[in-house]
Amino acid sequence: MNLRTSNVRITILSLAALVLLSFSAIATPAQDQKPPSLHLTGHALLVKKIVSSEVPLPAAFQYAIFEYTLEELKKSGRFQTIYREGDSAAASAPDMLTLETDATGFKEGSARKRQVTTVAGATTIKVHIKLIDKDGKVVLEQDVQGKVRFFGENLRATYALAKSINKVVKYNFVAPKPAKS
């Protein structure tokens, strides 16, 4: 290979890289920017079981989403008390918010396909969450999704979804101030 052929290849590769960079800059939408945090507070949260009104979601996925969401929200430190649906103590809690989760999308992938190739087999779960105060007013409403793309079993998407729900809550809520003694 002579020097001239080498220079031509370098020039072509440089131009191709420049074109790709310019298209990637154009393709980045402004909607990726987060809305400002709401800086909400709440002392108690009631987590309701997931509802699947739009898509059939297997019971194992519903249960895993519910349990992982409870676990992640407890870690967040944004609420003094977190109740499960059906807990009788929740009725007397002051400053109570209710988390409702509705499954809006579900695509069960294949762990085997994910192991063979990185572009096929993803599992995706999409939900619509609402945080509602005692008066029935929606305080926060947002679509959230969880995915498992590369390695792991399909139920791993439920853990990713719970982390995404927790991320939304942590972003929009501030930790309550400790009670004065």
Q: Tens digits of per-residue pLDDT, 117-158? A: 666 667 889 999 999 998 999 999 999 998 876 656 777 889
Name the CATH architecture for the domain at 44-172.
3-Layer(aba) Sandwich (3.40)
Tell me whether residue 163 is exposed, middle or buried, using C-beta atoms within 10 angstroms of its C-beta: 0 to 12, 13 to 18, 19 or more. middle
DSSP H/E element including 132: strand 123-133
Domain segments of the chain as ranges: 3-27, 44-172
pLDDT of the residue at 87: 92
DSSP H/E element including 126: strand 123-133
